[in-house]
Amino acid sequence: MLKEFDLKKDIKLDFTSGWSYDPAPESTDHVHIKDQYDHFIGGKFVAPQGGQYFDTTNPANEKKLASVAMGCDKDVDAAVKAARTAYDKYWSKMSPRDRGRYIYRIARMIQERAREFAVIETLDGGKPIRESRDVDVPLVAAYFFYYAGWADKLQYAFPGGNPKPLGVAGQIIPWNFPLLMAAWKIAPALATGNTVVLKPAETTPLTSLKLAEIIQEADLPPGVVNIVTGAGDTGASIVNHPNVDKIAFTGSTNVGKIIQKSIAGTNKKLTLELGGKAANIIFDDATIDQAVEGIINGIFFNQGHVCCAGSRLFVQEGVADIIRDKLIDRMQSLIVGDPMDKNTDIGAINSKEQLGTIQRYLEIGLNEGNEIYQTKCDLPDKGYWCCPTLVANVSQSSRLVQEEIFGPVLTIQTFRTPEEVLEKANNTPYGLSGGVWTDKGSKIFNMTNKVRAGVMWANTFNKFDPTSPFGGYKESGLGREGGLHGLYPYLKF
Ligand code: ADP
C-alpha cells in the first residue's frame, strides 16, 4: 500500500487544513483552437494524404481539443521535398543577415502572442499555466532571439572554419516542453541556413501548429519550416527519408537507440537528447531552506516531466532528518490540480499511458519493499493525476533509482562522504544533469567535475539559458543543444 504522510507526526505546518487560495483560473477567451489541423507543408496547411486524423485531448479533463492530421510516408516525402526546394531556391541563397531578420520576426511575434501560446500549451499538455507563462514561452522567445543573433556571425563562432549549412534537418520532439523543444530545434537550424521538417509529439501538437501560423504570418519563404504531425511511424518516416541530412531527436532512450541504428551507415548527422536520472546532492553545509526549494523545483514542478529532473535526492547524513522534515512540509503545501489555475504547482500527467507508467513504477517500488509516501491531495474527478511522491528506504540497485520514471516521484538516499555520493550519483545508465548544494566553492568544483553529467547546477536547479549548452553522456544522448555549441550540429566545415 502507498502510505500517506501522517499529518500529525510529519507535518509542522498543515497547509491543507488551515487555508487555501481562491481559484484563479486563466481565461481562454483570447485563444482560438480550430476543430481540425492539417500539416504545414510548403507554407500552406495541407490535408494528410492518407486522409486520417487523430484527436489531441486535454489531460486535465480528458476532453478533445482538436483533430490533427496523421502523417504518412507521402506527407513526409512532400515535406522533405518542400524543405529541399526552399533550401535550394531561397534559404541557402539569402544573406545571413536577412535570415536573422526572419528569425527575429518570429521571436517578436511569439512575444506578442505569448499568452495564447501559454494557454494552449497548458490545455494540450497539462502543465501549470504559471510554468507555461513564466518559463516555457519566455524561453521560447529567448532561444529565437539568441539564435537570430548568430545568423550573420557564424564566422566569429567558428573563426577560420568557413561553416556551411547541411541542407534539410528532420526534427522530432517530445511532449514535456512542446513549444520550447520546437524552438531548440528550429532556431539554430534556421540560423545556420538549414531548412526544417519538424514532428511534434502526438499528445502535444497544438503549439507547434500555432507556431506554423506565426511562421506563415512572418512570411518566411514557403518550405523553410514544415510541420508534419503524427505518431512514432511518422517520426520513423522522417528518420528514414533518404533526402534528410540531419536528424535532431529529443525523447526516450529506447527510441533514440532505434534512430541511431536506423541511420547507421548513412551520411546523416545526428543529435540525441534522451532520458536522465539526475542526482541532486545536498551537503551538510548547504543552506537548508534554499536546498529544499531546489529539490521541490527540481522534481515536482512540471509533474516531473523533465528529462533533467532531480529525481534522485542524496542528503548528507548530518542534515538528513531536517531535510526530510522540511521537504515533507513543503510537499504538503504543493497545490495539485487544474493546470489553468494560476495557483497550481503540479498539473496533470500528460497522458493516460504516462500515468500508467508512473503507477507501474510505484508498484515495482512497493514490491521491492521501499517505503512510498504520497501527499494527500483533492484531485479532480477526470484527468490524469499523480500526487507528489517520496520513496524512502530505497537501495542503489532499485529500479526506481536506476530508471527514468518521468513523474513527480523522488527517491531519497543518504551519504557520508563525497566519494560515496560520487560513486552513487554516477551509478546509473544516464548522464544528463545533476545538482550540488554546498557553501564551499571548492566542493562545487570537485563534484561538478566528477559527476558524469552534461549539465550541473550549483545551489540551484533546472535553470535554462539560451547561451548554455545542454546535452548528456552515456544513455542520455549525443551532441549539445543551446549556446554556441548548438550551432555546430547543423554545420559542415
Ligand atoms: P516518450 O516516451 O517521452 O513519449 P518517445 O521517444 O516515445 O518519448 O517520443 C518522442 C518523440 O518521438 C515523439 O514525437 C514520438 O512520436 C516520436 N517517436 C516515437 N517512436 C519513434 C520512432 N520509432 N522513430 C522516430 N520517432 C519516434
Q: What is the pLDDT of residues 297-343, one digit of tens each?
A: 999 988 999 999 999 999 999 999 999 999 999 999 999 999 999 99
CA 183 to ligand 1 center in whole angstroms: 18
Q: Which atom of ligand 1 is nearest to the CA of 256?
A: 6
479 lines ligand 1 (CB under 6 A): no
* Region label for 162, one of left (φ > 0), alpha (ψ between -120 and 50) or beta (otherwise): left
How would you classify the pairing of strands 312-316 and 279-282? parallel
Identify whether residues 198 and 323 lie together within a single domain: no
- 87 and 140 share one domain: yes
469 domain residue, yes or no = no
pLDDT of residue 161: 87
Supply the pLDDT for residue 339: 98
Active site residue 387: no
Nearest to 307 by CA among 298, 294, 295, 318: 298
Cβ contact 430:279 at 8 Å: no
Query: Are 412 and 330 in the same domain?
Result: yes
Domain assignment present for residue 167? The answer is: yes
Q: What is the average pLDDT across 52-76? A: 98
- pTM, full prediction: 0.95
Q: Does some domain include residue 465? A: no
In which domain, by residue range, is 378 found? 7-24+276-458
The domain total for the chain is 2
Q: What is the pLDDT of residue 419?
A: 97
Q: Is residue 255 part of a domain?
A: yes
DSSP 326-343: HHHHHHHT--BS-TTBTT
- pLDDT, mean over the chain: 95
371-374, strands of its sheet edge to edge: 3-4, 371-374, 389-392, 409-415, 312-316, 279-282, 433-437, 455-458
Same domain membership, residue 263 and residue 184: yes
In this structure, are 285 and 163 located in the same domain?
Answer: no
Q: Decide if 470 is inside a domain.
A: no
247 lines ligand 1 (CB under 6 A): no
Residue 4: alpha-carbon gap to chain centroid = 29
- CA 177 to chain CA centroid, Å, is 4
Cα 235 to averaged position of ligand 1 atoms, centre (Å): 7
159/264 same-domain check:
yes
CATH (domain of 435): 3.40.309.10
Task: State the pLDDT at residue 2.
Answer: 67
| Host H or E run for residue 427 | none
The active-site residue out of 116, 131, 273, 404 is: 273
Contact (Cβ atoms closer than 8 angstroms) between residue 347 and residue 385: no
Least Cα distance to 237 among 70, 55, 66, 351 occurs for 70
Answer yes or no: is pLDDT of 345 > 50.
yes
**Rg (the chain; Cα; Å):** 22
Question: Which atom in ligand 1 lies closest to the alpha carbon of residue 201?
Answer: 14
Q: Is residue 467 part of a domain?
A: no
177 shares its domain with 317: no
Residue 132 is given by DSSP the state I
Q: Give the pLDDT confidence score for residue 395 in this predicted structure.
A: 96
Based on the fold, state whether residues 309 and 256 are members of the same structural domain: no
Q: Is the pLDDT of residue 9 over 80?
A: no
Ligand 1 center from residue 310 Cα (angstroms): 22
The CA-based angle 374-356-16, given to 5 degrees, is 25
Which residue among 72, 73, 76, 172 is best mutated to probe the pocket of ligand 1, counting the most ligand atoms within 8 A of its Cβ? 172
CATH number of residue 73's parent domain: 3.40.605.10
Pair 331, 350 in one domain: yes
Q: Is residue 451 part of a domain?
A: yes
